[in-house]
Amino acid sequence: MGDTTRPNIMAECSGNYWEKRDKENKFNSTIIGDENFEGPVTDRKCTNLLLLTTFILFNIGLIMFAIYSVMEGDAQRVLHGSDFRGELCGVDDLSGKEYLYWPDPNGDMDVKLCLAGCPVNTSSKAVCFYDIDHETSTNVCWDSYPSKPFNKQCLPASEDTREDVDEFLFEDVEEVVRRIGNDVYRAWDLIGIGCAVAFAFSLIFLIFFRFPSTLPMVISISAFLVLCIFGALAYMLIKEKDRIHDLLYDDWEGVEMDEPNSDMDTEVYVYISYGLIGIAALVLLAIVCLIPSLSRSVHILRLSSRPLKNIPSLLIFPLVEVLLGAFMICFMFTVCLYTISIGDIEKHDTDVLELFPVGGEVKVIDFQPVTRYLMIFVIPMSLWWLSFLSMVGEYVVSSAAAVWFFSKDKETLDSPILLSLKNLFYYHLGSVLWAAIIIPPTRMMKSIFGAIKGVAQSSNCCGRFTSGCCLPCLACHEHSIKYLSDDILPFMAIWGDSFGPSSKKVYYLKQRSGQNIKKMTTAGNFMVWVSQMTIALAGPTFVLYWIIYQDHSLYGENLDHITSALSPVVFTLIGSAFIS
């Protein structure tokens, strides 16, 4: 006889099974209020110590790798191409020769020269190897071909001549990674200003949230702005596609560039534009659907803004977070910049070696792919830090607000922020780290799995089909994902439980609160999300606008040397999203 206590696998798809399981869950118990309750509990213990230990060990590894990258790498390699000796164009003795040129693009692509400018016509024996003094020409020469500069590299005008160069520029992984780093570095001032724009928007929203009477106006303006920003981004991405096409194929200095057979390399901008328009349509639909609940949601937001008004020092904490986040973003970019530049100068065999003057060699920079794989560790660790800082802010604000709300004698109340920080560092760092690594990636997943569950619970053929096809997703949702929410941190701050119990207690508390509360909190959370989206997208919109419509950055960098605005925009989005 088999085990009859194990539920049938298809039974797990039914709502009745999970409803029964939820009712019997030990964390599904009513929280009874007490007239003597005075805020967050004082009897606490350390939570999730294993993850805290892991985080510390990972950071030791991150610091060690950062030191190694800075010692072994050379950031100049990201900004400049290298010639046939492995020397960088535009650097040291080649400072007057900034442009990389392939004398025989249909031959050996490792045979490269640094020139003062890209040739604009065909001329016999016009391009020659230079001697070790970098000035004296040798007797090894080629006919020049018409070309135009692209990221300080000479792009051949003829499509036949350009075939191998295009393949190198757009399909070689090392070159693509180098160009991404180059674009971000050249737009560093625009990225900084874009994050400052997001920060300014954040301060404006925080100040207005201190005055509850302005919330309806703030929410309305936010909804209007976020729709306008989505539309502006979609339009400017189409313009960016045209800008890149012009950089590559527009005629220059009398050089007539051959048009490509396909624009597939730039079609991605069109697809992203369509995606943004779709998201804007969904946001508009959500706003329309949630309008009936907005008046009650505004009341909840007014209530939640009271601590911000009565504890002005809460405004200081986001400033500290932003400064630490800015440091972490700069650290991540610096480490990545040096990591992708780690490599050795190696001798390369070539068919033209025998034509070189005595002592001449073809050398290339042999970048180390192993170190680049370590960026898979550096970037997630940096993002974990940013998420952690954000979750620390949520925890501290939630805890300070709870102390203020439940304290009967507010006149003699000690600093709620200091008490929150004490509880965080003494007891709950590990739990906040869990929240930082789990909650952000699962937000979208939770919405999708929840929608699948709704379809699967219907009794029609579509529901039964969905139940059978999506059983692993439904099981994953019911066992873990449905418990995850941003409300875990406030609950943890008040009751002192670890991450796991807090997540389940919060879920069942909200389930017992009924649909009215659920609708109000959904509408309120959505309105806050709209405000956050306005902040997060304001910075990238500024960066994209400046790159498309201006010739130089604020620091004076020629923006034609930025081969794609996507890299600076995404980098700005990371910083702005953290700020929001």
- The C-alpha torsion from 455 through 458 and 463 to 464, rounded to 10°, is 140
Residues 456 and 511 in one domain: yes
For the segment 324-375, what is each residue's pLDDT rounded down to a tens digit? 888 888 898 888 888 888 888 777 766 655 555 544 567 777 777 777 778 8
- Asked which of 171, 202, 218 is the last residue of a domain, the reply is 171
How high is the pLDDT of residue 373? 79
How high is the pLDDT of residue 64? 92
Which stretches of the chain drop beneath a pLDDT of 50? 1-14, 358-359
Residues 479 and 381 in one domain: yes
CB < 8 Å & 24+ apart, contacts of 12-21: 12/471, 12/474, 12/475, 12/478, 13/456, 13/467, 13/468, 13/471, 13/474, 14/457, 14/467, 15/457, 18/478, 21/478
pTM (predicted TM-score): 0.79
Residues 199 and 138 in one domain: no
CB burial readout 374-385, b (16+ within 10 A) else e: bbeebbebbbbb
Range of the domain at 86: 81-171
Q: Does some domain include residue 202?
A: yes
DSSP element (H, E) containing 478: helix 471-479
Residues 518 and 395 in one domain: yes
Residues 337 and 450 in one domain: yes
How high is the pLDDT of residue 63? 93
- Asked which of 123, 156, 171 is the last residue of a domain, the reply is 171
How high is the pLDDT of residue 12? 47
Q: Does some domain include residue 16?
A: no
Residues 137 and 205 in one domain: no
Residues 387 and 294 in one domain: yes
For the segment 60-77, what is each residue's pLDDT rounded down to a tens digit? 999 999 998 888 888 888
- Asked which of 118, 146, 171 is the last residue of a domain, the reply is 171
Cα 392 from Cα 388, distance rounded (Å): 6
Structural domain count of the chain: 2
Q: What single DSSP character describes residue 408?
A: S
